[in-house]
Structure 1
Amino acid sequence: MSKILSKKGVKWLLVVGVVAVVALFGFRYWKGKQSALPDGITSGNGRLEAKLVDVAAKEPLRVLEILADEGAVVQPGQVLVRLDTTTLLAQLAEAQESIAAAQERLAFSRASIVKQKSEIELAEIELERSRRLVKEGAGSRREFDVRNAKVETAKATLAEAEAMLQTSKQQVEVARASAATIQTRIEDATLKSPVLGRVLYRLAEPGEVLAAGGKALTLVNLEDVYMEIFLPSEQAASVAIGAEGRITLDYAPDRAVPGKVSFVSPEAQFTPKQVETRSEREKLMFRVKIQVPRELASQYVENIKTGVRGVGYVKTNPSAAWPNWLQNLVAPAPGKQPAPSPGAQPEPGTGGSSGG
């Protein structure tokens, strides 16, 4: 009797095992059908990336202070680094003194011209008087010649003064241009953020001397966010610039970020040494860039972390319809989107390592 029961038990266990295996394969098949892409849409693995921007010195100067640490979010125009401008300020003071001296020479030249014009006017009156006296026979010819020479000398002196006036004006402009150049160099010593971004690397400390072009900080431009994927040549050839795209991240595969194809590489990234057979030609992979809209990225700057892995999807056929699981989009929010509270649904780009 016990043998009969044991055989029945084994039979039931086999039945349950078969049912479990069938259910497992059925579930996997159903999940595969749910995540299958329709014709006209292709995908590739990638990671969230952003353009890098270097904050660098324009000329060799010592670092006075750095006002942002790694990981800080910075705004366009925000002061990030101040360089020591003591020498430049001394040069600016010297240039301003040169402006004052040039302006004094200019004023002297103008006064000299006024004086020369008055002397010419007086000399011409005396010359006319001498001319009448000579004509009437009451004056000497010599005196007339002396006064005539005096007029000519006064006119020559006036021309010289006018030339000095032009020179003085040019000296003032040169001095002002020199001061403006130094002022620009002083302003360039205050390094500001050109973008809305996050500090990725802090490359200098106060007291260090940066060379011309020396980097103090490297920023991640949080408004220029994208994902690069690699597609076989046949699929890449069907992707158009401006085609619709979607990005999903591994930590939140049920949320999709809308995007557009902004670049398709004209050259293969992986090329066999000899491309002869069809299987080898299929190894050719082309880089495709899916750009996140700037207005959307700017609303999630607190959440974006580059380096997060995910999947990028692009349309090879504009009329193809996105599957339901790629229509749950991260939508733009009016105004600045606040960071999600603990326990809330995470937004794109949170988590992961920082990188370019």
Structure 2
Amino acid sequence: MPALIPASRTKLRQVLLWGAVALVAGGGFLAWQRLKPQGLPPSIASGNGRLEATDTDIATKSGGRVKQVLVREGDNVKAGQTLVIMDTALLEADLARAQAQVRQAQQASATAEALLAQRHQAVTTASAQVAQREAQLALVTKEWQRAKELVAQGFLPPQKLDEATAQLQGARAALSAARSQVAEARTAITTTESQRIEAGSAIDTAQTVVKRIEADLNDATLRAPRDGRIQVRAAQEGEVLGGGGRVLSMVDLSDVYMTFFLPETAAGRVAIGSEARLVLDAAPQYVIPAKVTFVASVAQFTPKTVETTVERQKLMFKVRAHIDPQLLARYSSQVKTGMPGMAYVRIQPDEPWPDQLAVKLPAEPASEPSASSAAAAP
């Protein structure tokens, strides 16, 4: 008999333990029953969902090596803040080569400009020579005419006419040569103009390459597109990523909403802008205000071709309710996405909200002391 006493005590402890567990569970159940909305009026429709937010992947535009990651998971970041720096050694070498090509093209353009000015001067000089040759030809022509008349009258020997004829032919040849020089100079202008245009195009091409490389260098510094919180760090320093490789994922905590589903009998009466209330499973004592921003126009579950009334009642429509960004800003440190809960929508705007769905928010978190006040504190 004495050997059985310890066994009885052990059994008694187990009974007391299970009794305590049942008491705690019962108390929790009763507390949940008191906190959850019950006896909702017909003017309130409800559906379950999860808190969601706009996710953004911080990814590379082109392949490269991760040089520096400046944030950690859970960090809050501001729009424009530098998050990741990629290795840009190759891009910087490409930029130096492209800038050298720009200078080379600019030098070629300057040379073409100088040569073009020289060609224009050559045309001017050749044109002056043409004018001179034309004057000489006019003079020689008159002399030849007088010599011809005097030889015909017998006042001059025929040799004088031969000399005048030779001078006339020489003047004509000189004028033709001068005119050829003008044509040649003008052709050289056309060629040089083409070279100048080609050099200008080379400058534009080289400058375009420089701008592209500078854009790639700018994209090698990954910045936050908006305010948010870092959720995932997918790559580490030193890793080589391809184009579009994800380094970080962030969530925009100013755009938080719950997506839930309502039957067609309720969804058909929900308008954009209707008031909603969100109650999270993790904090059922709080009621968060929201507004409906989306109601699907197409059923999600039952096909549209269903004819029977019973089956039509299974039609479910996606509804989305957003939380006010100003309210989110006040509780930014407490916002957690992915938390399940219930959404309640008032489908009759004139009906008041029941007491259990009155807005109840936690106390606002204390703001962090500034650096100056912290320094002044004893």
Superposition pairs for residues 40-51 of structure 1, below 5 Å? 40-51=43-54
**Correspondence for 1:287 among 304, 307, 318:** 318
Q: Which moved more, 1:190-199 or 1:246-255?
A: 246-255
Deviation at 1:56, TM superposition (A): 0.9
User: 1:308 Cα deviation (Å)?
Assistant: 2.3
1:306: Cα distance to partner? 0.8
Alignment of 1:85 with 2:85, yes or no, is no
Q: Distance in 1 between matches of 2:360 and 2:36?
A: 21
* Secondary structure in 2 matching 1:246: strand
237, 252, 275: which is aligned to 1:221? 252
Aligned amino acid, residue 154 of structure 1: A
Give how far 1:95 is off. 0.5
Structure 2 SS opposite 1:191: strand
Q: Does 1:249 align with 2:252?
A: no
The CA deviation at 1:177 is: 0.4
Deviation at residue 180 of structure 1 after TM alignment:
0.5
**Which AA in structure 1 matches 2:265?**
E
159-168 or 135-144, which deviates more: 135-144
Q: Which residue of 2 aligns with 1:53?
A: 56
Mind listing any 5+ residue stretches in structure 2 that lack a counterpart?
1-29, 141-166, 369-378
Paired residue secondary structure (1:172): helix
Structure 2 residue 220 is matched with structure 1 residue 189: yes
1:111 pairs with one of 97, 110, 114:
114
Change (3 A) 1:212 1:33: closer
1:190, distance to aligned residue in structure 2 (A): 1.1
What is the alpha-carbon distance in structure 1 between the residues aligned to residue 58 and residue 354 of structure 2? 43
User: CA separation of 1:71/1:34 partners in 2, compared to 1, >3 Å: closer, same or farther?
Assistant: closer
Cα deviations by residue, 1:177-236 (Å, 9 ceiling, x for unpaired): 011011111111111111211111110011111111111111111111001222222112
The 8 Å contact of residues 255 and 329 in structure 1, kept in 2 or not, is answered as yes
Q: Matches of 2:343 and 2:313 in 1, distance apart?
A: 20
Question: Which residue does 1:76 correspond to in 2?
Answer: 79
Read off the aligned partner of 1:65 and give its amino acid letter: Q
> Bigger radius of gyration, 1 or 2?
2
Q: Deviations 1:70-109 (Å, cap 9, x if unpaired)?
A: 1111111111111111111111111000000000011011
Matched positions, count: 310
What SS does the aligned partner of 1:302 have?
A: helix
Q: 2:240 aligns with which of 209, 212, 222?
A: 209
State how far apart, in whole Å, the 1-side matches of 2:138 and 2:122 are: 24
1:175 equivalenced with 2:206 (yes/no): yes
Residue 296 of structure 1 aligns with which residue?
327
Structure 2 matches for 1:1-356, cutoff 5 A?
Answer: 35-137=38-140, 140-271=171-302, 278-328=309-359, 339-340=365-366
Contact 1:254 1:326 in 2 (8 A): no
The CA distance in 1 between the partners of 2:176 and 2:110, in whole Å, is 34
Secondary structure of 1:241's aligned partner: coil
Deviations 1:120-141 (A, max 9, x none): 1111111101110111017622
Give the conservation status (yes or no) of the 8 Å contact 2:277–2:343.
Answer: yes
Unpaired runs of at least 5, structure 1: 1-26, 332-336, 343-356
For 1:296, the aligned partner's letter is L
Measured in 1, the distance between the counterparts of 2:38 and 2:79 equals 41
CA distance in 2 between counterparts of 1:153 and 1:75 reads 67
Name the SS for the 1:290 alignment partner.
strand
Distance 1:339 1:177 in 2: 52
- For 1:159, what is the secondary structure of its paired residue? helix
How far is 1:250 from its partner? Answer: 3.5
**Is residue 36–residue 284 contact of structure 2 (8 Å, CA) maintained in 1?**
no
* Per-residue deviation, 1:145: 1.3
Distance 1:125 1:269 in 2: 89
Aligned counterparts of 1:120 and 1:32: Cα–Cα separation in 2: 99
The change in CA–CA distance for 1:204 and 1:172 in structure 2 (over 3 A counts) is same
In 2: Cα distance, 1:186 partner to 1:211 partner: 16
Are 2:289 and 2:359, in contact at CA under 8 Å, matched by a contact in 1? no
CA distance in 2, matches of 1:63, 1:318: 54
Shift of 1:152: 0.8
TM-score normalised by structure 2 residue count: 0.74
Q: Which has the higher helix share?
A: 2
**C-alpha contact (below 8 Å) 1:130/1:143 kept by paired residues:** yes
Aligned to 2:14: none
